[in-house]
């Protein structure tokens, strides 16, 4: 029914926006700790609280606004941010045509739609840059420390950067696998009816991160 469909659409947008902004915040945290030399206490005191407030405000505002304009409607098997199109008639003859029967607020729809897409693109770009920055910083520090190594003891000089590279690559890959596919579908203008793979991957990012988190422990066995 309309109520359950609206709730599904609301939770979908809320989850996507919260997930993307939270991933961006985590990447920013890693960047500040490793590259800029902050400790976790300093980060928590100066940035963490405003960052959490910003995440909640951005996610909630983006998800709540469409509620007032009835923009959560069925779309190809799921309830999403989309006006509902139905059959309409003029009541004078048998002529029937398609029209928007719910959520006829095109300006608000496109504004919210572009906010979601822009957030997704920003998260992908920022997280990629942050992870590359961290990797090359650690690599550069290892190269600087190499001069202090005794001859014959530099075989594992880049061991730490290789470990960080693998972990960061997997975390970034999980983000691209979850949200990069939907960006690709937008880029090639794929019909929304064929987005079933992208829709299945979006809520899987938490599971992918779970696998990456436990990967080092699994490799020990």
Q: What is the mean pLDDT of each run of 10 residues along the chain (221 residues)?
A: 88 91 90 88 92 95 93 81 69 58 82 92 92 86 72 58 76 84 79 72 80 67 50
Residue 19 buriedness (CB in 10 A; 0-12 / 13-18 / 19+): buried
| Burial profile 53-91: b = 16 or more Cβ within 10 angstroms, e = fewer | eebeebbeebbeebeebbbbbbbeeebbbbbbbeeeeee
Q: What is the pLDDT of residue 175?
A: 86
Report if pTM > 0.85.
no
- Residue 209: per-residue pLDDT: 78
pLDDT for 53: 95
């Amino acid at each position: 029914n309309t109520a359950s469909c609206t709730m599904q659409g609301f939770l979908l947008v809320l989850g996507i926006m919260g997930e993307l902004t939270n991933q961006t915040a985590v990447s920013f945290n890693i960047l500040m700790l490793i590259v800029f030399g902050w400790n976790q206490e300093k980060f928590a005191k100066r940035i963490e609280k405003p960052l959490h407030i910003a995440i909640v405000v951005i996610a909630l505002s983006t998800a709540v606004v469409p509620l007032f304009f009835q923009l959560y409607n069925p779309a190809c098997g799921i309830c999403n941010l989309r006006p509902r199109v139905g059959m309409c008639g003029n009541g004078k003859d048998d002529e029937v045509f398609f029209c928007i029967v719910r959520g006829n607020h095109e300006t608000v729809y496109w504004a919210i739609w572009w906010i979601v897409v822009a957030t997704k693109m920003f998260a992908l770009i920022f997280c990629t840059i942050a992870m590359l920055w961290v990797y090359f910083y650690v690599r550069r520090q290892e190269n600087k420390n190499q001069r202090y190594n005794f001859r014959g003891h530099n075989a594992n000089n880049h061991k730490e950067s290789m470990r960080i590279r693998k972990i960061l690559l997997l975390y970034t890959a999980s983000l691209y696998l979850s949200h990069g596919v939907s960006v690709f579908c937008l880029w090639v203008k794929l019909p929304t009816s064929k987005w079933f793979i992208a829709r299945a991957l979006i809520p899987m990012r938490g599971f992918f991160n779970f696998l990456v988190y436990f990967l080092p422990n699994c490799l020990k066995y």
